[in-house]
Amino acid sequence: MGEIFSGIGEIIAAFAGGSSWEISQALDLPAAWILGLVILVVGGFLIMGLYRVSPFLEKHLEGYVMVVSYLSIGGIIFFGVIQRFVPGMLGMDFSNTPVWLRPWPWTTTLPPFLFLVMTWVGCSYNVKLRTHLAFSEFRTNMPRAGQMFMLTVDAVLWIGFSWVVIVTGSRVVANAADNFQIVPGTDNLMQWWFILTVPVAFIFLVARVLENWFEDLRNYRSGDAIIKQAVIGGDA
């Protein structure tokens, strides 16, 4: 136990020092799993509390992030296509092509990182809508206690998956920062800025998991229907 607390102290000290190398080394300690679980659960409850204080964020936060990411990806790719084909169609060569029409090297490398943001934030959003694999048709035929048990298993599994992601994902973020990995085609756009969204998104996902579980518990105690058919694209 003393080793765990010592390891947690080393991790906190590494973050306080701000050295990406020290953070990367500290996150390899076994204590990172204990600290990761604490951050995951506490962060999930804090975000759930934020959602209760701000219904606007609760309803729109993930959706706005996904839409902005998606439109950014589409805009970059669309403009990149124009840069590659329009000058040739107009008979321009590189010397007389305006700078803004010359292909930018990051138009093919930045969209995958934006897609990373959209994907994992979207995962949290779909947990909120319960449009992930839920086997609702099968579970609605189970006794109410069985339904609640299966929903609890779902919540535990989601938290377990998120626990793995937040610890291992944080290590990837620290390694990317330690190696000064930049987005290819850019001068100073760091990869870890985008990779960081993965562990952060799973903390938001846990907030949605907790929201759903407490709602299920209220329905179980009140006698209301516990499992309802989710519709992809339905009202959030």
What single-letter amino acid sits at 6? S
> What's the chain's average pLDDT?
87
- Of 14-18, 36-40, 99-103, 147-151, which range is least confident? 99-103
- 95 falls within a domain: no
178 bridge partner residues: none
Could you tell me if 177 and 96 are in contact, meaning their C-beta atoms sit under 8 angstroms apart?
no
Domain count within the chain: 1
- 82 falls within a domain: no
Residue ranges making up the domain that contains 200: 2-58+119-222
- 181 falls within a domain: yes
pLDDT digits (tens, 9 = 90+) for 134-150: 677 777 888 889 889 98
What b-and-e string marks burial along 68-83, b requiring 16 or more CB atoms within 10 Å of the CB?
ebeebbeebeeebeeb
pTM of the predicted structure, to 2 decimals: 0.87
- 71 falls within a domain: no
Gap between the Cα atoms of 44 and 41, Å rounded: 5
pLDDT digits (tens, 9 = 90+) for 68-99: 999 999 999 888 888 777 766 666 665 566 66
